[in-house]
Structure formats: C-alpha cells, structure tokens
Amino acid sequence: MCWRCTQFSRRSLLAGGGIAAASLATGSAQARIRPADMVPLIGPGYKPVDKDEIGLWQQMERVEEEVAGSNLLIDDPALNAYLKNIIGTVGGPAAQDFRIYLAHIPEFNAVMFPTGFAVIFSGLLLRMRNEAQLAGVIAHESGHFLRRHMIRSWRDMRRKSDLFAIGAMVAGVAGAGVGVYTGDYVQLAQLGTMLSLFHYSREIEAEADATGARLIEQAGYPPMEMADIWQQLINEENASAAYRRKHRDRGYSLFATHPAPESRMVDLRADAADVTVAGKAYDNRRARYLDAIAAIRPMLLDDQVKLNDPGASEYLIETLAQDGWNGLLRYNEGEVWRLRNRNGDDVRAAQSYAAAVVYPDAPAEAWRWHGISLMKAGRSAEAKQAFAHYLAMKPDAPDAAWVRQMMG
C-alpha cells in the first residue's frame, strides 16, 4: 500500500526515494487478478542475473545504506523486532531475505524496494486497528518483490521514457540526502520528474493486492482486513475533504495515484472471498498489536493532531474508538478541538479532557488541560485538584512552576 506520488522536498530520502522506488499504482486492474494465479516468481536468496537489474540493485543498495543510517528511523528494538517478525511471517518464500525499517513520518505509507527492504511510515501504524491490517499492508509490499514488479516497471518505463531522464532519476534516488524530521511534520523531498516517471500499472498493483491476500490468509489472518483498510482510507479522505469543503483528492494523498479507489476496494473484497477457507479460524491479533505499539501510540496521535487536518483526525480517533474509548483517545480528541480553536471548540475540548481523566490511562497532559478548562469555568477548587494530579504524574514538567503558581 505504498502510495504517495507528489512533490516532496529533496531532503527526505525515506519519502522520496521510497516512492520513487516503489510508487503505488493507479488503481484497480480492468480484469481482476485472482490470488490463486499469483505464484511467486523468485525464491529464497534471489539475486539478479540480468545486467540492467544488477545495475538497479547496486543503486538501491546505496539507498538502503542511507536509509539504515537515517535520523528519521525510530529506535525501538522491540517494535522493530515485531515488524521484522511480521514481514518474516507474510513474506512468502523470500521472507528471510527481507529487511524492514520504521521511519518517523506521520503519513500512511509503506514502500518496498527492489532489493527486498521495506520502509514503514509511522503514520501507517496509527491507522491500523489490529495486526492483521498491518500484515495486509506488509504482505502487499512483499507481493511487489515476489512478483518482481520493480524491474518490470523499470523496463516498461525505459521503453517509454528518455534515457537521460531515467539516468537522472536513478542518480537522484541513490544520491538523495538523509531526511531530517523537523518536528513540523515532515518535509518530504522534491522529486518531480522521478515520481511522474516511476509508478506501477494497475495490473501490477492488482497483482500485489491478490498476492497479499493469499499471504495473509496462509498466515492465519482474516483476509477481509485488507479491504477494510482501504475502506477506512476512503472514509478518512472523505472526512478530510468534507471539512475543507473540497473534493476528496488533496493532491498528495493515495488517491492522487489511485483514481478509482472504490473499484479497487471491490477487487480487494473479491480477493478476500477467494482465499477465505470456510470454517477456518482466523485471528486478527489485535491485543498483540496494541501491546507492540503502546510505547509510541501517544506520539503517533500527537503527530496526527498537529497535522492540522481536523476532519481526518476526528475520523481517525473515532475509528480507533470503535474498539473502545480510552483516556489517550479522549485527550487527543480534545486536542483536535483546542488546536482548531473555532467558536465553541473550547467547550468541546473541555468536555473531551473531562472524559479523558476518567480513564486510568489518561496522559498527564489531559489533567493539565482539564485543570485549565476548570479554571476558566471558575471552578478553581476542582482545577487545583486536577493540577495536583498533573504534577504528581510529571513533577519535573517544564511548566511545573507555572502550574504551581496557578494553584496559588
């Protein structure tokens, strides 16, 4: 499910190089590709033998060196081991050859490079409701490698494009500087021609979908979760567009490269129906997934809220809450309204903070903003109690002196 074909800033190797190397397709294939026909074209330990593919691999090996040393990567050994385990589970015959990297980029994306390494964006983890959905995305990317889509797309492009432009594109991928996460949410690279030249066909994308459905079914995940992901993404884009009173395509989203998302979702549901075995017990492994991302989930939600897209953020929070509200979700719901700061948003935010602190997992900041809301409402005694709770949780908070002053 790698997808963004847009203009990025040259400084982001992970976003730019990733999309250039594995940009998503343009939609659903005209004739549906069936999972049963998706036989892997390579086996364990695959190495290229053709001159052009050898050259492409050499360029991508240089890219991986830069990715591996990037300061965008999230340094969490347990979480990275978890991702490695999943790609090893749904990677098919090449599972042991895959490498996977997690980048701190608050957008939904995952890309597979032709040499067998993948980059997962942190924004993808936020949107997954269970392990099966994450496995579906990774299995889709594995499908690109197993079906040798990169070299097929490369050769097709070479037949259609100017050789000098192609050479410049490869040099751009290999020479891209390591990305810098600014905290202002991702300046992604300026790749222009590279991105317009290199994208998968509808047929190739349909092959990856069908292969992914087959791989996650074999691993014991519910195959329909792949279609559910796509439906969630359609709904998120609709929510974002409705808030901005614009059409769904924001110009930098997956729909910029997927002009028929509903059609593709229909194919994904058909793929799932094809591979699902009647009577077989499937497990989405939700509890295991939530445990794996628990340490970074506050960061993931904070990243999303600060993207200044209230429509998408509200939809995402409510979607995640379908599996149960908690203090973290309620707190970030309040942050959406506080940061939007329109008429009446302060009341909505105060209600969310008040709801958040009822839960035992409410972050310290929920108590802080709950106290501020109570103080504004003239309920100073209750506000002081909330501030005391905040300081008990974060005695060394940067604003501790200010909070104590507010408490008198």
Question: What token pair was written down for 138?
Answer: 């990774």
Encoded amino acid at 360, one letter: P
pLDDT at 199: 60
pLDDT at 185: 29
pLDDT at 232: 92
Residue 179's contacts (CB-CB under 8 Å, 6 or more residues apart) are 11, 12, 13, 14, 15, 16, 70, 71, 72, 103, 105, 188, 189
Residue 358's contacts (CB-CB under 8 Å, 6 or more residues apart) are 327
For residue 8, give the H/E element and its range: none
Task: Look up tokens 């628990």; give the residue.
Answer: 294
Q: Taking a C-beta distance cutoff of 8 angstroms, is the pair 140, 21 a contact? A: no
pLDDT at 64: 87
Number of C-beta neighbours around residue 353 at 10 A: 29
β-bridge partners, 350: none
pTM: 0.83
Residue 389's contacts (CB-CB under 8 Å, 6 or more residues apart) are 357, 367
- C-alpha separations of 178 from 69, 189, 380 in Å: 8, 10, 50
Q: Is 76 exposed, middle or buried (0-12, 13-18, 19+ CB in 10 A)?
A: middle
Q: What is the rounded CA–CA span in Å between residue 18 and residue 100?
A: 12
DSSP string covering 47-69:
---SHHHHHHHHHHHHHHHHHHT
Report residues of the chain scoring pLDDT below 50. 1, 3-29, 163-164, 166, 169-198, 250-259
Question: What token pair was written down for 315?
Answer: 């939809």
Q: What is the rounded CA–CA span in Å between residue 119 and residue 176?
A: 16
Q: What is the rounded CA–CA span in Å between residue 103 and residue 225?
A: 23
Domains of the chain, each with CATH number or no CATH: 13-222+241-275 (no CATH), 297-406 (1.25.40.10)
pLDDT at 30: 52
Q: Taking a C-beta distance cutoff of 8 angstroms, is the pair 269, 53 a contact? A: no
Q: How does strand 117-121 pair with strand 110-112?
A: antiparallel
Q: Taking a C-beta distance cutoff of 8 angstroms, is the pair 284, 131 a contact? A: yes
pLDDT at 162: 52
Q: What is the rounded CA–CA span in Å between residue 202 and residue 346?
A: 46
